[in-house]
Chains A and B, each alone.
Chain A
Amino acid sequence: MNKVGINMKSKFLEKLMEVVFFISACASIISVILICFFIFANGFPAIAEIGIFEFLLGRDWSPSNVPPSFGIFPMILGSLYVTAGAIIIGVPIGVLTAIYLAKFCPKKLYSFLKPAVNLMSGIPSIVYGFFGLVVLVPLSRNIFGGNGYSIITASFLLGIMILPTIISLSEAAIRAVPRSYYEGSVALGATHEYSTMFAVVPAAKSGILASIILGIGRAIGETMAVVMVAGNQARMPAGLTKGIRTLTANIVIEMGYAAELHRGALIGTGVVLFVFILLINGLFSVIKRRMT
């Protein structure tokens, strides 16, 4: 009798916890739905009121003018420029560093460098931004002229910041290439360097591409570090040594005091950023799926 009671109780507990686990598992789905809903539902009405072409392609952002003008084309270009700059700087160095770690690095040194890469991705963006502010901005002012708050400075800083993403994913991709590629090439008489560069690395190209795409996502979404070094002028890009404002910067700078349509336009900026990110993520998972 008692035993049956205990059995019933534990069966009930088993079922209950299964339901609890199931509900927990739905939390991430609910979160994504909520995020999409709140960003889109608050951004779309403003975009519609401004006019979608006016909003996306308008070259003038002056929210306090009468009448105000809400064109975010300068910020879209700003984000694209600094991201492209970050890729130009970060990708070659990142991929080559990954090749070094996977194929050239002595074991002893590796056990020291691998945690260093993790540390690099753990450093907060505000610290990177501050470093950019006190070191890169004056440096760029001296070398390239201007006041130092510029596309070039932001590109260098972002290039550094996406290194750990590119390095860890590319390294994993290079390590995942079957040994036979390397051995086959060496057996044909190629040197270690030659085999690595022309047999192993090409075989890892989709993994490396995935790492670059993730790096692009990081660069386009980065906020605090860019705000501190990019100058943040809301105007069309005027040159590499001139300042620029990104989509992310637009939100963080003006959200504090914006109201009504201005506020809606900022959330609309968030919508555009979010759509960019969703596209990049989609591309990333397509490539990742193709790899496996």
Chain B
Amino acid sequence: MNWLSRLIRYVVKFSAFITFAVLFFIIAYILARGIPYLKPSLFALEYTTENVSLLPAIITTLIMTVLALLISAPIGIFTGFYLVEYAKSGNKLVEIIRITTETLSGIPSIVYGLFGLLFFVTTLGWGFSIIAGAFTLAIMILPLIIRSTEEALLAVPDLLREASYGLGAGKLRTIFRIVLPSAMPGILAGIILAIGRIVGETAALIYTAGTVAKIPENFFASGRTLAIHMYVLSSEGLYTNQAYATAVVLLIVVIGINALSTTISKKLTKGNIDG
């Protein structure tokens, strides 16, 4: 039986080793191949076929992120308020909202892209545009924001709410002045993860925001985000080195986002122990 124990230990450790070795290898490989090509010329204001500049894509990504969050964050956070602070237990609607949120989080991004193409681009007539892409992404990240808000609100002790009511504050005041500030780190961690999904998204954007490589002049112009930029570069096959460089930028953003989200949620758990 001792040899079996030892075997189990080896197999388990070996599997974990494979997982983290693969992750490490992916990151190291892309950084090693890409960093030499991160030249200043890649950050020129203008995209040309001689110099496939990243900067327009970076700016488009920023615009897209802000826009999608402006649409999705209030709706997601308000949904959280409704689910936790207002809805009574056993409410049928809450059950339906829960099911639809779960459904939304399971829908693959290509289906979101297809929907965005059919609804925002064609039916509403917005064409391939930043705004069509942003709305599509806003629906895609909605479940993430709802869930993190809900969890953050549930973690706020009822004592705080009762103390606020006891001092004569109304429900609304209690939510915005007492509950929201203490739930903020959790909500923020969710929003940061949502930013990560927006930055990395490709399939939902190709047929909604399009692939034009210029800085968009307005919300109804087409524009490519960094992830789409990378897809176009690597599928054209002419700019592999620049694709490596784009992958480096994407990886750095994703690593930064994850670190930030981890730090914030660590602060959150610490705060709860103190309280």
Contacts and interface: CB of A to CB of B under 8 A. Distances in A.
A88 to B, nearest CB: 14
Nearest to A280: B106
Given A97-B16, A127-B250, A122 B203 contact: no
Interface stretch (B36-44, B50-58, B77-85, B215-223): B77-85
A180 interface: no
A39 B8 contact: no
A199 to B, nearest CB: 13
Interface in A123-156: 123-131, 133-135
B83 A277 contact: no
A194 B8 contact: yes
A217 B106 contact: yes
Given A119-B255, A126-B200, A277 B13 contact: no
A27 B6 CA distance: 53
A94 interface: yes
B49 interface: no
Interface residues on B, range: 35 or more
Contacts of A214: 106
A176 interface: no
Given A221-B110, A223-B109, A277-B107, A25 B1 contact: no
A196 B247 CA distance: 40
Nearest to A197: B8
Chain A, interface residues (CB within 8 Å), range: 35 or more
A133 B142 contact: no
B142 A27 contact: yes
Interface string B124-165: 000000000000000100110010000000000000000000
Interface in B76-133: 76, 78-79, 81-83, 85-87, 93, 96-97, 99-104, 106-115, 117-119, 123
A49 interface: no
A271 to B, nearest CB: 9
A122 B111 contact: no
B250 A20 contact: no
Contact of B110 (A99, A133, A193, A270): A270
With most chain B CB atoms within 10 A of its CB, the pick from A17, A31, A251 is A31
B102 A20 contact: no
Interface of B: 1-2, 4-6, 8-9, 11-16, 18-20, 22-23, 26, 29-30, 33, 74-76, 78-79, 81-83, 85-87, 93, 96-97, 99-104, 106-115, 117-119, 123, 139, 142-143, 146, 170-172, 193, 196, 199-203, 206-207, 227, 230-231, 234-235, 240, 243, 247, 250-251, 254-255, 257-259, 261-262
16 contacts: A24-B79, A25-B93, A32-B103, A38-B119, A96-B16, A97-B18, A115-B258, A115-B262, A118-B262, A122-B258, A127-B230, A129-B231, A131-B26, A160-B22, A197-B8, A223-B202
Given A99-B12, A123-B26, A252-B203, 9 more contacts: A24-B76, A24-B78, A24-B79, A27-B142, A104-B13, A126-B200, A127-B26, A214-B106, A277-B106
